[in-house]
Amino acid sequence: MIRVQIDLNGKTALVTGSTQGIGFAIAKALAGSGARVAINGRSRASVDGAVARLRDEIPGADALGLVADVATEEGAGAAASALPEADVLVNNLGIFGSEEPLEISDDEWRRYFEVNVLAAIRLTRHYLPGMTAKGWGRIQYIASDSAIVIPAEMIHYGVSKTALLGVSRGFAKAAAGTGVTVNSVIVGPTHTGGVEDFVYQLVDKSLPWEAAQREFMKAYRPQSLLQRLIEPEEVANLVAYLSSPLASATTGAAVRVDGGYVDAIVP
């Protein structure tokens, strides 16, 4: 019998924006697979709390805290100094929100690209050379179904995620033949605290959560085949696989964990 086992023992992983939500679920999945995981956030309190929670949920987990705002040049530099090398880089940090399309200012467009795109590019520039020198590495960009199906109520977010698909494909070409794989993960509507807040911006705030979720999916995401929000752990399972030696032939790809939301045979 052939058993599929994700083994990341001896590997060091950095997951940006990982004190909660999808990022924390990814960090937990990687730690559970044996990796040494750097949890990243902007405040010492949030990072220390997430590290303690991870060690509590995964006894014996090798976790460290990395306090840095990687959406800035200074913060990315601080992160690189604190963790000079990594075998796995998961660019999870991102912001989202709804806004009237014609009211999105230049400053808001810039902010979305700084956080959602440039943060990932800066860290890739730092860690990719070390990975190629060792002949092994995994880089992932957490994208979104909004990269393909641009929502009218959050164009700036969708376009920033579209950019990540191009960034991922381009860096995969830069790493061709080195043993380093670079992929993006297209995530569908996912159940996190931040998404709960977003849902209640769009539906009746008096509705209980289960009813609000159903109303949101019906009104704003009707093409979902799953017909429910995705749980963060379901995203983390795919990321853990792509981070492992098992995914050695998957690179330059946009891999979907979207609940069938994108109505296409290929991304």
Contact (CB, 8 A) for 33 and 244: yes
At residue 240, φ and ψ (nearest 5 deg) are: -60, -40
Amino acid at 72: T
220 flagged as catalytic: no
* Catalytic site residue from 112, 127, 157, 261: 157
Burial 201-216 (b: 16+ CB within 10 A, else e): eebeeeeeeeebbeeb
Q: Identify the CA nearest to 169 among candidates 196, 190, 211, 140.
A: 140
Contact (CB, 8 A) for 197 and 266: no
Residues acting as catalytic residues: 157
